Amino acid sequence: MDQQTAKIVARRKREDRLFKLLGIGCTLIALATLAVLLGNLLYTGFSRLDWQFLTSFPSRKAESAGILAASVGTLAVIAVTALTAVPLGIAAGVYMEEYARKGRINTIIEVNIANLAGVPSVIYGLLGLGLFVYYFHLGHSILSAGLTLGLLVLPIVIVATREALRTIPVHIREAAYALGATKWQVVRHHLVRYALGGISTGVIIALSRAIGETAPLIVIGAVTFIRFLPTSPFEAPFPHHAFDWLQSPFAVLPNQMFDWTSRPTEDFHRNAAASGIVLIAVTLTLNAVAIFVRYRARRNIKW
């Protein structure tokens, strides 16, 4: 190798090393931002995070305010969301992957789901406001909010279900058909069970997304100053009043945080940081669980 070639090779290797450093640097920028964000939240809000904060209603005074109403509201809304999006999403995913034959209708459904995933969340809020709040007269209620978020996260559940089903080899289906099973039996007894790991991952991610959504619920009409809880479904007399909580007005965690963030005083910003810690703890935990479930599901399957 003459000297000139050696020089060029050395330069190319240097470029490679430099780009590698650049790549690591950019990755670190992303991760460092996350670290600074978490650090700042903890630094500002951690001292505020006590039992009083978790169990108090909102208040005009920052130091006696809390997230009780918002936490209960978030739980109630997410329950409705899960009951809407999970069955609907799994059924739609199974249909698309196992039943649909290639054709115009199914192409439409497929393109449609891809597009729904890209619709900004605030537009789902407008859909909920127009459709659930005013057209169906459900009011600015937990039910309207839960249904809206259900529609919002539906594409996530559908896509996760389809991907999980796609990893199941064809010979599993063929073995079941060979024993005379109908399509529905194959789906119910085999496919849904083997895909459960992937589907649960998708469901957890979807719910974590729904918990963090703020904008659509502002549009639906979430309140931030609410000093009572929805009637408990366990205390209300069963058939007639057990579902009263669905009609209740509601506060949710991200909106409570938004309200405190947009106030001018420092005390309320500490409250905002504290509620941010709770919010992020919930969503990051859910995501960690999802990653764990996916990892376990992958490890346990040996076709």
Partner 1 sequence: MDSAAPVAVSAMPQGNQGPKANHGSTPREDQIAALVKRRNASNAVAGGIMFAAAASSVAITCGIVAMLTLESLPFFREVNLWDFLTDTMWAPLFAAPRYGILPLIAGTFVTTLVALAIALPIGTIIAVYLSEFAPHTVREVIKPATELLSAVPTIVFGYFALQVVTPALQTFIPDLPTFNMLSAGIVMGIMIIPYVSSLSEDALRAVPMLLREGSYGMGASRMQTAFKVVIPSAISGLAAAYILGISRAIGETMIVAVAAGMQPNLTLDPRQPAETITAYIVQVSLGDVEHGTVAFHSIFAAGATLFVLTLGLNVFGHYLRKRYRKAY
Q: How far is the CB of 271 from partner 1 (least distance, A)?
A: 11
Q: Would you count residue 48 as binding partner 1 (CB under 8 A)?
A: no
Q: How far is the CB of 250 from partner 1 (least distance, A)?
A: 15
> Within 28-47, which residues bind partner 1 (CB under 8 A)?
29-31, 33-34, 36-37, 40-41, 44
The rounded distance, in Å, linking the Cα atoms of 180 and 301 is 25
The values of phi and psi at residue 244, to 5°, are -60, -35
> Within 252-281, which residues bind partner 1 (CB under 8 A)?
254-255, 257-258, 261-262, 269, 272-273, 276, 279-280
- Counted residue by residue, the chain has a size of 303
CB 236 within 8 A of CB 244: yes
> Within 3-22, which residues bind partner 1 (CB under 8 A)?
12-13, 15-16, 19-20, 22
> Within 150-209, which residues bind partner 1 (CB under 8 A)?
151, 154-155, 158, 176, 179-185, 187-190, 193-194, 196-197, 208
Q: How far is the CB of 179 from partner 1 (least distance, A)?
A: 5
Long-range CB pairs of 94-98 (<8 Å, 24+ gap) are 94/161, 94/165, 94/187, 94/191, 94/192, 96/158, 96/162, 97/161, 97/162, 97/165, 97/166, 98/165, 98/183, 98/186, 98/187, 98/191
Taking the CA atoms of 17, 23, 24 and 29 in sequence, report the sign of the dihedral they define. positive
Q: Would you count residue 215 as binding partner 1 (CB under 8 A)?
A: yes
Q: How far is the CB of 146 from partner 1 (least distance, A)?
A: 15
Q: Would you count residue 118 as binding partner 1 (CB under 8 A)?
A: yes
